[in-house]
Amino acid sequence: MKNRSVLVTGGAGFIGSHLVDRLLAEGARVVVVDNFFLGKRENLADAEAAGGALTVIYEDAADMVAVREILERHEIQDVFDLATKALEYSFENPRGAFQVNTDIALTLAELLRKGHYERLIHTSSSEAFGTAVTRPMDEEHPRNPTTPYAAGKCGADLALLSYMRTFDLDIRILRPFNNYGPRQNWGAFAGVIPRTLDRLAAGLPPVLHGDGKQGRDFVYVEDVAEALLRTASCEAARGLDLNVASGIETPIEELLTTLCEVWGYRGEWDREPRRAADVDHHVGDGTRLEGVVGYRPQTTLREGLEKTVAWYRTRFAREGR
């Protein structure tokens, strides 16, 4: 990626900011486009301190005119598309949760079709598959989204596949399973790990929804950033969609048990009913990514949770908690 001019939508978010760190370390010139819906400027503090070629622009990545102007002004070659509104936003504004995914994908596809940049590396989500019908779930698994967010991710995938086929564009789709690590949003719309850590830091017990048997495939965030980088640099990945998965299904009860151990909490848990839209089983088959790109996630769940807890402890201490 050295000297390539790269745009990252959602680059002030969780995964996007880790990708920005890696791109700058590789010597790329990076432009972040983020509307700061959940993104935080502090997520880019390491990138800004590193003194690389970074420009941060507060903009809506679905805005065709604005994004075209940014692509031209910065002579962008590659776009990494990570902008989205979190899955939990589906319960507040289902239409918005769906639409943000399809609008941004279509804007970027149109601008690629018209020759405003060279290649698109789009981030899908395993949520597009819904609950596992076959396990592990490979890239041909049926699309059966359970939330409007997931339906929007699914719609974006289909739109991009159709643009690829119709216009022979250089588009690569990465489909991460459940990601976690430093900088994952811990406020509104937070996922299970940051939400639990936030409660533990506040002296509150963890909350388990349902029976805890619902499984997820957890991938550490730096492994996802690495997979994105390698996919961009691998010509054989052109036109493909690739899962980023550990291949290990961890029941949520087991995740919470390990998380509590790492944090040092031995108390009771609160129990709440299962959330209707939660998928039951989720475990990915990452062999296509490994075969094509030569990469598979490296970090074990225990190692990843230790790094994550260490980061949140520092963060909470800064806030005086």
Taking the least distance from each CB to ligand NAD, the nearer of 28 and 67 is 67
Pick the closest to residue 174 from 123, 108, 106, 239 (CA basis): 123
Q: At how many degrees (to 10) do helices 64-73 and 94-113 cross?
A: 40
Query: Of 117, 149, 163, 180, which is the active-site residue?
Result: 149
Q: Looking at the chain, which runs of residues are DSSP E strands?
A: 5-9, 29-34, 54-58, 78-81, 119-123, 171-176, 178-180, 207-209, 215-216, 218-220, 241-244, 250-251, 270-272
Q: How far is the CB of 268 from ligand NAD (least distance, A)?
A: 27
In the complex with ligand NAD, which residue's Cβ is closer, 100 or 208? 100
Toward ligand NAD, which CB reaches closer, 166 or 298?
A: 298
State which residue, 110 or 205, has the beta carbon closest to ligand NAD. Answer: 110
Task: Report the nearest approach of ligand NAD to the CB of residue 202 (Å).
Answer: 21
Asked if residues 198 and 149 have their Cβ atoms less than 8 Å apart, the reply is: no
Long-range interactions of 49-53: CB distance < 8 A, separation 24+: 50/21, 50/24, 50/25, 52/24, 52/25, 52/27, 53/24, 53/28, 53/29
Nearer to ligand NAD, 154 or 237 (CB): 154
Residues near ligand NAD, by CB under 6 A: 9-10, 12-16, 33-39, 60-62, 82-86, 100, 104, 123, 125-126, 153, 176, 178-179, 185
Are the CB atoms for 232 and 119 separated by under 8 Å? Answer: yes
Residue 12 or 309: the one with the smaller Cβ distance to ligand NAD is 12
CB 251 within 8 A of CB 210: no
b (16+ CB within 10 A) / e for 11-21:
bbbbbbbbbbb
Please spell the DSSP secondary structure of 22-89, one letter per residue.
HHHHTT-EEEEEE--SS--GGGGHHHHHTT-SEEEEE--TT-HHHHHHHHHHTT--EEEE-----GGG
Which position's Cβ is nearest ligand NAD? 13
Please, what is the minimum distance in Å from the beta carbon of residue 174 to ligand NAD?
A: 8
- C-beta of 181: minimal distance to ligand NAD in Å? 9
Q: Which two tokens stand for residue 44?
A: 């880019």
Nearest residue to 225 (alpha-carbon basis) of 11, 9, 18: 18
Which residue's CB is nearer to ligand NAD, number 29 or number 81? 81
CB within 8 Å of 102: residues ≥ 6 apart = 152, 155, 156, 159
CB of 34 to ligand NAD, least distance (A): 4
Task: Please confirm, yes or no, whether 163 is among the known catalytic residues.
Answer: no
Shortest CB 14 distance to ligand NAD, Å? 3
CB of 45 to ligand NAD, least distance (A): 14
Residue 300: strand, helix, or coil:
coil
Q: Report, as residue numbers or ranges, the catalytic residues.
A: 149
